[in-house]
Amino acid sequence: MKRIIALLLIGMLVFSFAACGPDEPAAATEALTEAAADETSATAQAETSAIAETEETAEGGTIIAAEQTSAPVLKAPTGQANILALYNESLVKTKGLGRTAYSRKLLVSKAVILFEGLGDVDMIPNMKEKDINYSDNQRRAHDLVSLNDANVKSAALKKQEGNLATYEILLQPASADPSMKSGNGGYFSLVLFSDVMALLETYSTQDTPFAENTTIQSFSMDQGKLLATIDLESGQMQSVEGSYAEDVNGTMKVSFLSAKLILRYDIKAAYKA
């Protein structure tokens, strides 16, 4: 539109030259030059504005495209059945999952005999005075097992950051005989019969051969908890942190007396892919 108006103006100026005196053509020429300059400036501004709008649109389109192609945030499964299904599937899918830290601390160690009038007497009090705790931070194969409703007390979503979901799984108390293996009741890295015998052997003497005179009746586990972080997009297990307490119950002969053996361990382990 501005270009048409400028052309009309130029035409009017040309026709006016005939009616002008000898001094008027210079003024008309100057006016024509100014009109042409204004037209050129307006055209350049319009083109610059169009380029700027095109660049802004292109940038906006790039941003939108990036948002559309990024991984969507998935909704973390909830409910015990769904969580256990996801946990079990991730154990199968995840390659390279290993135990990266382990600690075992003996909280209680007693060989108790009830003497009439004296109450409980601990026959191995020196056991608490020695360093019997154990830790292992070497990477090893994991010993986690699949879980089901029978060995799980509760399972709930603890937090979600993007597609990483962390679940808290509480285990039911469990018990087993001395022939049990790690994984019983969903518990991991258990203190086994051989571990207890090795401990008692450490405290055996010629007068009191604890290991030879001890019979283990049962093992029991409680306060089991797992914190499992799973990538919802890939279904891979990222990490697991676990803890529980384990009791060992047996009978120990001390001299001509029979004592009740009680050991209680606090156990923690960490696993990473």
pLDDT attached to residue 50: 46
> Does pLDDT of 270 surpass 50?
yes
Same structural domain for residues 38 and 133?
A: no
pLDDT attached to residue 109: 76
pLDDT attached to residue 124: 67
Mean pLDDT of 228-257: 90
> Does pLDDT of 160 surpass 80?
yes
Same structural domain for residues 28 and 143?
A: no
pLDDT attached to residue 207: 62
Residue 165 lies in a domain: yes
Q: Is the pTM of this model over 0.85?
A: no
Residue 75 lies in a domain: no
**Residues whose CB falls within 8 Å of the CB of residue 52, separated by 6 or more in sequence, listed in order:** none
Residue 219 lies in a domain: yes
Q: What's the 3-state SS for the chain?
A: CHHHHHHHHHHHHHHHHCCCCCCHHHHHHHHHHHHHHHHHHHHHHHHHHHHHHHHHHHHHHHHHHHHHHCCCCCCCCCCHHHHHHHHHHHHHHCCCCEEEEEEEEEEEEEEEEEECCCEEEECCHHHHHCCCCEEECCCEECCCCCCCCCCEEEEEEEEEECCEEEEEEEECCEEECCCCCCCHHHCCCCCCHHHHHHHHHHHCCCCCCCCCCEEEEEEEEEEEEEEEEEECCCCCEEEEEEEEEEEEEEEEEECCEEEEEEEEEEEEEEEEC
pLDDT attached to residue 210: 66
Of the residues 69, 94, 109, which one is the last residue of a structural domain? 69
Same structural domain for residues 138 and 193?
A: yes
Residue 197 lies in a domain: yes
Residue 74 lies in a domain: no
* pLDDT, mean over the chain: 76
Residue 147 tokens read as 């879980």
Of the residues 69, 101, 128, which one is the last residue of a structural domain? 69
> How many domains is the chain partitioned into structurally?
2
Same structural domain for residues 6 and 122?
A: no
What range does the domain containing 47 cover?
A: 2-69
Same structural domain for residues 57 and 173?
A: no
pLDDT attached to residue 195: 85
Of the residues 37, 69, 101, which one is the last residue of a structural domain? 69
Answer with the residue of higher pLDDT: 171 or 13: 171
Question: Could you count the other beta carbons within 10 Å of the beta carbon of residue 56?
Answer: 10
**Cα–Cα dist 267/242, whole Å:** 8
Give Cα 23 to chain centroid, integer Å.
Answer: 89
Contact indicator for 229, 165 with CB cutoff of 8 Å: yes
> Does pLDDT of 138 surpass 50?
yes
Residue 240 tokens read as 């697991």
Mean pLDDT of 112-137: 66
Residue 193 lies in a domain: yes
Same structural domain for residues 46 and 179?
A: no
> Does pLDDT of 168 surpass 50?
yes
Residue range 243-255, pLDDT digits in tens: 999 999 988 776 6
> Does pLDDT of 224 surpass 90?
yes
Residue range 185-213, pLDDT digits in tens: 889 988 888 888 887 777 766 666 666 77
Same structural domain for residues 28 and 52?
A: yes
Residue range 60-113, pLDDT digits in tens: 433 334 445 567 999 999 999 999 999 999 999 998 999 999 999 888 877 776
Same structural domain for residues 184 and 208?
A: yes
Between 23-37, 102-116, 210-224, 237-251, the lowest mean confidence (pLDDT) is in 23-37
Task: Name the pairing type of β-strands 237-254 and 257-272.
Answer: antiparallel
Same structural domain for residues 120 and 250?
A: yes
Residue 183 lies in a domain: yes
Same structural domain for residues 38 and 62?
A: yes
| pLDDT class of 4 with cuts at 50, 70, 90 | low
Q: 51: phi > 0 → left, psi -120 to 50 → alpha, else beta; which?
A: alpha
**Cα–Cα dist 247/225, whole Å:** 16
Same structural domain for residues 47 and 116?
A: no
Mean pLDDT of 49-58: 44
Percent of the chain with pLDDT over 70: 62
Residue 166 lies in a domain: yes
Same structural domain for residues 10 and 50?
A: yes
